[in-house]
Amino acid sequence: YLNKLLAKRKASYAAIDEHVDESTQIIGIGIIMYLQNPSDITVKFNVKKGSGSTVIFCVERLAQRFKSESLNIRACIPTSFQATQLILEAGLPLAELNAHPVIDVAFDGADEIDPSLNCIKGGGGCHLQEKLVAAAAKKFVIVADYNKDSPALGTKWTKGIPVEVIPMAYVTIQNKIKTLKGKSALRMGAPAKAGPAVTDSGNLILDVFMSNLKGDNAVLETSQILKMIPGVVETGLFVGMAGWAYIGLEDGWVFNQI
């Protein structure tokens, strides 16, 4: 597990160092969970998979460089409440997307990445904000560990495509998915008996299983079909959005670019 954390850290540092310079002013930060002391790797043993644990290291590196170099970062745009807190604690300038609708570069993790850098995101349920920030970014950079690198979406991430839905229609949407030969499960909170997981926007999440996500066309088609169902707010399929993926390996990092 330590190797995986070190891999994430290496990939994150490489991504920040290659994509942030004096010309970078507005940065998107995708994190949904973090620990109190990002500089102490030992405490990171508590970070769970699918929680945005990778991008914590991006903030760690960004904060180091912000303090020691003459960077011109004017705003960091968070994708969740937790990202907001981390940006503040790291001493980075916080701002909202509407104030800075064009982002120079956004950094985010992923649950799975295919060879075209299409991704499944939303293991932590923040894919709506994450997609809004990614779509506003001139460059969208994914940082992940070796477990996320996959030949086809759905191969390694077997928990389904996270789909954020309007609460009043979740059963209708589940029925519609059945007619499309898919399956879905309402994501429950923790503990499950407390009820369903609720997103930052007050919606519910369906984890959706559709067959065949192999190849760009299949991924795009699935994303479009799901998006067309009334009540679907956003899916965790990020198609053609990422331009770079930094995958941390046990012994270093590799760099991929479309």
**245, 4 contact by CB (below 8 A):** no
Q: How far apart are CA 119 and CA 122, in angstroms?
A: 10
Supply 43's token pair.
């405490």
- Helices (DSSP H) in the chain: which residue ranges? 2-19, 55-68, 81-89, 127-136, 170-179, 216-227
Of 50, 162, 56, 33, whose CA–CA distance to 110 is shortest?
Answer: 50
Q: Is 234 in the site for ligand 5RP (CB under 6 A)?
A: no
Q: Is 182 in the site for ligand 5RP (CB under 6 A)?
A: no
Stretch that binds ligand 5RP, among 88-96, 102-110, 177-185, 250-258 (CB under 6 A): 102-110
Q: Is 248 in the site for ligand 5RP (CB under 6 A)?
A: no
Q: Which is nearer to ligand 5RP, 50 or 154 (CB)?
A: 50
Token match 């001493």: residue?
Answer: 91
- Sole binder of ligand 5RP in the list 28, 38, 52, 182 (CB under 6 A): 52
Q: Which is nearer to ligand 5RP, 71 or 86 (CB)?
A: 86
Q: Which is nearer to ligand 5RP, 22 or 250 (CB)?
A: 250
**180, 225 contact by CB (below 8 A):** yes
| Contacts of ligand 5RP in 116-135 (CB under 6 A) | 121-127, 130
Q: Is 160 in the site for ligand 5RP (CB under 6 A)?
A: no
Q: Is 28 in the site for ligand 5RP (CB under 6 A)?
A: no
Query: How many whole angstroms from its chain centre is CA 231?
Result: 22
Q: Is 203 in the site for ligand 5RP (CB under 6 A)?
A: no
Q: Which is nearer to ligand 5RP, 55 or 92 (CB)?
A: 55
Residue 198 φ then ψ, to 5°? -115, 135
**106, 16 contact by CB (below 8 A):** no
Q: Which is nearer to ligand 5RP, 71 or 134 (CB)?
A: 134
Q: How far apart are CA 138 and CA 26, in angstroms?
A: 10
Q: Is 130 a catalytic residue?
A: yes
Q: Which residue is nearest to ligand 5RP (CB)?
A: 109
**Residues labelled catalytic:** 130
- Residues of this chain that interact with ligand 5RP (CB under 6 A) are 30, 32, 49-54, 108-111, 121-127, 130
